[in-house]
Structure 1
Amino acid sequence: MRIRPLTLTLAALVPLLVFASVLLGSYVVTVPDLITIVSRHLNGERGIPGASFIVLDTKIPRAVLAAFAGAAFGLSGGTFQTLLRNPLASPDVIGVSSGASAGAVAAIVLFGARGITASLSALVGALLVALLIHSLSRGEGSAGLRLILAGIGVGAALQAVVQFLMSRTDIRTASDVLLWVSGSLNPASGDRITVLFVAMLALVPALALLARPLRVLELGDDAAAGLGVNVSRVRLGLLVVAVALAAFGTAAAGPLAFVAFLALPLARQLDPRAGLLAAALSGAVVVLVADFVGANVAPLLLGGSVLPVGIVTGALGAPFLLWLLVSPAGRTRRKVA
């Protein structure tokens, strides 16, 4: 399969942004110092005091988690949007991210969960909500439209649950919850990266295998069935993988608003035939850029206030959603979908 120029460009841009995130920012690291720190760490030697901690425990984990989480969300959103033939179909819109948030918030507020436990609760919450949405969407009519409408309703109810739990807890716990639901890379660690990486090692090949008839499904269920595709089995498999990608991404970095929604449409603004690989790379670029802006540009504009990456991606995604709803180009895409 020929790799498109946009995909090659994004594939080159992602590692460049990772290096930029590590080298630049409030603490600037030179290339020689970075090489020294990494080489000494690999050899088990003592690194540069202070700088080694900042680079190895903060900058590198944060940048790597941003890239992996963005790719997971981009793949998930691109799969939903392509499968359901609707640009509004993404984990943010249909309630999967809300399920993850509700699961994590319930664990934090009710059981005092922290760290990996809260992340696992987010994973369970996303999977349970996806199962509920899938059950509610069964019936006559367009399966994609029913799924989106059921997801919007369930997501709204879960947001109310999150707000209720936050109103019933103490200020310290509420601040922890607020940071988590905003989507933040501050808790980036080797454990979170490892769990997400292992999950993607299993899910990405499964998605690549299931995605072969995805272009045929874009023609419609009847046309795909006529061409020999087992529509119900392929659709269910793709939905399970897409939900799992969003769930693991949310468990690792929190519900990064609109990343899954933005990734594929942004790629297709540059190349209308962009596919899932471009969506994954686009998602990684969005999160890396948004994190750099929130951590380094926002403090200059807001008097020292660092913004969680989820707030920055939300600020990018909300105008794009409005444009999609009101612009002639957006209306054309919805009619095609």
Structure 2
Amino acid sequence: MGDEAEATTGGKYVEPGSEFTRDQRYIATRITTDGRDGWPVEPGRYRLAVSRACPWANRLIIVRRLLGLEAAISMAVAGPTHDARSWTFDLDPGGRDPVLGIERLADAYFARFPGYERGITVPAIVDVPTGQVVTNDYARMSLDLSTEWTAYHRSGAPELYPERLRDEIDEVNAVVFADVNNGVYRCGFAGSQQAYEMAYHRLFDRLDWLAERLAGQRYLVGDTITEADVRLFTTLVRFDPVYHGHFKCNRQKLAEMPVLWAYARDLFQTPGFGDTVDFDHIKRHYYEVHRDINPTGIVPLGPDLANWLTPHGREQLGGRPFGNGTPPPPPTERVTPTPLP
């Protein structure tokens, strides 16, 4: 997670007097059907390293689950907090990932790139036989799960990146990333009033644009869920618990934006979305790790999460979440249960 994992000194995320700029120099190696980068698609060979706190990792968790790739690609889950050195596997017995045998994700990065100096980020895919990180290019990773791993998709898996819609999905993803996914961080990590205000207006202008787009259609592109919905959802689901207060994105709560709130609840209640979300990990990560923003490390108790399960009424707009496919089966991997009403 470019923002969270790249702090180089004790929790420093804000550079006074400047705007936040994300380091987007990722390991661009791809895992492909033809193995042209040296890493062929092979079930059981790779392990997806994630934190449930991270929105970028949450995308991969959702896509992997929707496509039914759990048996083909195993998953290592880091704890919700980390220090300046790396994400740690402190949720596992002995604080060590049982498959990779490492305590810190950094070990997989250093196994391939000794002295690696950029961010030790999640999500990342690790080659189990060698223990080496293959890629942390999160945007490409999820697309490749849709396009390169088709031989191992479950029966009934949705088309998240259909060829006929790719240009439109790419266009929507580009503006959503710049103004919303990354926009909340540009607010939260702004080092000046001017940088914050510019990011704030850019964020809410784009949210207004999205609300107008979604007022008459159930999903962002086409009439089924796509990669575009996955990418927007992971920011929206963190909006009220974290971004509204912690990152000062406080013109309105998501729950006060009727169209986006209904859209987000629709996705949350769709199998494969809400059942991947761990609000406890999300809140602990942001409020405990970003000590230059929240020096006390106190984690707020609110907001009430039961309203995520209330009726959303989006079915009236038509559309079918999985197209001609089917929902994924109930999850087998642990997630903190969302409180019921």
Q: Establish whether TM, by shorter chain, passes 0.5.
A: no
Structure (1/2) with the larger strand percentage: 2
Structure (1/2) with the larger helix percentage: 1
Whose RCO is larger (CA < 8 A, sep 6+)? Answer: 1
Give the greater-gyration-radius structure (CA): 1
TM-score (norm 1): 0.28
TM-score (norm 2): 0.28
